[in-house]
Amino acid sequence: MPSRQKRPKVNQSKRVSKKELARLSLVRRLGGKRKAREFEERATARRKALESDPIFDNETDQLRKEVQAAHSFNPQAIESFFQRFSLPLFFHLQQARAFIETLPPGIQDVLEKYIRYSSRFGVYFVCRKQQFELRYLPTNGWKFHVKQVDGRLEPLHAVHQEDDAAGYFESQELNVQPQIQSLIDSHEVKYVRIDDSSGCSVLNDVESFADHPEGITLVLHNAERPYLFCLYGEKVSKELLDRAGKAISAFQREHYERGKGGRPANLDRRKQTRELLKQPGRMKDKAALVETTENISSSQSYVSRVRNKAK
């Protein structure tokens, strides 16, 4: 009777982790390791920029609760949306809104808020085991060169119909003035060049009636969220540019709660307090753990405020 062959041992070190599988998938989707590495670096930069933003922290906490509540009410609708539109790229916005219009009004409001949130901060939610995890989008780049075709922007060269056209807008080779390039390199300015020979785009319309050679034209674009464009006249003075900063600050305060005075929020302390509130124990003991330079009474008041906002 022939002897039974031994099963070869599995090399445990060669098992691929979920993280490695995700990266391999990203490499395939983006077409190479270099692009995947750039994608990850930009996503990390986005995360670091948002981690110290108290407004982002508040908006995320509130929206996650609302999405979670909507999921409890209608899990099928919410899961269907996030499977199709978790990442609402601007070319898919019409389809996402058409889907939202088929849902109950309360859920419509929550998902519209999610679209504004995702657009504003460059993040998105992923539904995992009925919980909504946060993911960060990479920055799209800093210098772009596109063309206007039938009222929409397209890459200079044709791309596959299934590809995201916006992924081909960046043009690192585009030549600009050294003064502009230095601002781009310091990540203080983004630059977009639009080639438009049609004479019939919405930009042509704005320029035809609102151009102000001696001054500035402010264009408020009310889309999924408000945007402010500045059209500078060819004879605008540096003094006017300095004074226009007050108008921009007013826009930031009204629409985004930016530019306000006061002491910046301590996000690490707030996150620590939220974690402590999930655990059993006395409020006084929790207040002592997050106490800074203030007395215990003030610390207890702070913990109470964080708890009330979490409700």
Residue 34 is inside which H or E element, if any?
A: helix 33-51
Residue 288 DSSP one-character state:
H
Q: Is 70 contained in some domain?
A: yes
Listed range (88-97, 241-250, 285-294) with the worst mean pLDDT: 285-294
Same domain, 150 and 197: yes
194 within 8 A of 155, measured Cβ to Cβ: no
- 203 in the same domain as 217: no
Task: Return the minimum-mean-pLDDT range out of 41-45, 88-92, 192-196.
Answer: 88-92
Regarding whether 275 and 244 lie in a shared domain, the answer is no
Domain count for the chain: 4
- The answer to whether residue 123 is domain-embedded is yes
pLDDT at position 219 is 96
Q: Verify that 74 and 116 share a domain, yes or no.
A: yes
For residue range 80-138, what is the model confidence (pLDDT) as tens digits?
A: 999 888 765 555 788 888 999 999 988 999 999 999 999 899 899 988 888 899 988 87
Whether 59 and 114 map to the same domain: the answer is: yes
- pTM: predicted TM-score of the whole model, two decimal places: 0.68
Examine the pLDDT at 272 and tell me if it is beyond 70: no
Q: Which of 210, 229, 252 is the last residue of a domain?
A: 210
Phi, psi at 52, each rounded to 5°: -100, 15
Last residue of a domain, one of 220, 244, 261: 261
Task: Looking at the structure, tell me whether residues 206 and 216 fall in a common domain.
Answer: no
* 166-191 average pLDDT score: 92
Beta-sheet pairing, 191-195 with 143-149: parallel
The SS3 of residue 183 is: helix
Check whether residue 79 and residue 122 sit in a common domain: yes
Domain assignment of residue 201, yes or no: yes
The better pLDDT of the pair 295, 8 is held by 295
**Domain span holding position 187:** 141-210
Element at 7 (helix H, strand E):
none
% of residues, the chain, pLDDT over 90: 39
How many CB atoms are closer than 10 A to CB 3?
5
Average pLDDT over every residue of 184-193 = 94
Q: Show which of 193, 210, 227 is a domain's final residue.
A: 210
pLDDT in tens, 54-68: 889 889 999 999 999
